[in-house]
């Protein structure tokens, strides 16, 4: 029972985070009316090369990615969200 409850909490928080990302970062894009499942499929399930250094994380996405423009818009908008922590 406890493992199922923990898994439900984790999935619920993931849904809340993706929904917040949708509301704040995907306005006026082709994914503005997309469901959480479609956002997950199109933006989160990408093949990318990740390089971690001491000061930054570099994510290299293939140049043939069909959602590069949306990802760059979302990245710019994510940087403008104030840190409340």
- pLDDT digit string, tens, across residues 20-65: 899 989 999 999 999 988 998 888 888 889 999 999 998 888 888 8
Cβ neighbours of 25 (radius 10 Å): 22
Structural domains counted in the chain: 1
In a domain, 12, yes or no: yes
Give the end-to-end CA distance of the chain in Å, rounded to a whole number.
Answer: 32
Pair of tokens at residue 50: 């990740």
Residue 8 has pLDDT above 70, yes or no: yes
Q: Is the Cβ–Cβ distance between 42 and 30 less than 8 Å?
A: no
Instruction: Report CA dihedral (16, 70, 33, 17) to the nearest 10 degrees.
Output: 0
- Cβ-based burial of 7 (10 A; exposed 0-12, middle 13-18, buried ≥19): exposed
**Position 72 in a domain:** yes
Identify whether 85 is part of a domain. no
9 confidence band (pLDDT: 50, 70, 90) = very high
pLDDT(85) > 80: no
What is the domain range of residue 6? 1-80
């Amino acid at each position: 029972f406890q493992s199922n409850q923990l898994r439900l909490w984790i999935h619920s928080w993931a849904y809340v985070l993706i929904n917040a990302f949708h509301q704040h970062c995907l306005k006026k894009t082709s994914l503005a009316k997309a469901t959480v499942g479609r956002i997950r499929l199109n933006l989160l399930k990408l093949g990318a090369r990740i390089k971690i250094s001491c000061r930054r994380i570099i994510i290299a996405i293939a140049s043939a990615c069909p959602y590069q423009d949306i990802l760059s818009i979302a990245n710019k908008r994510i940087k403008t969200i104030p840190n409340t922590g």
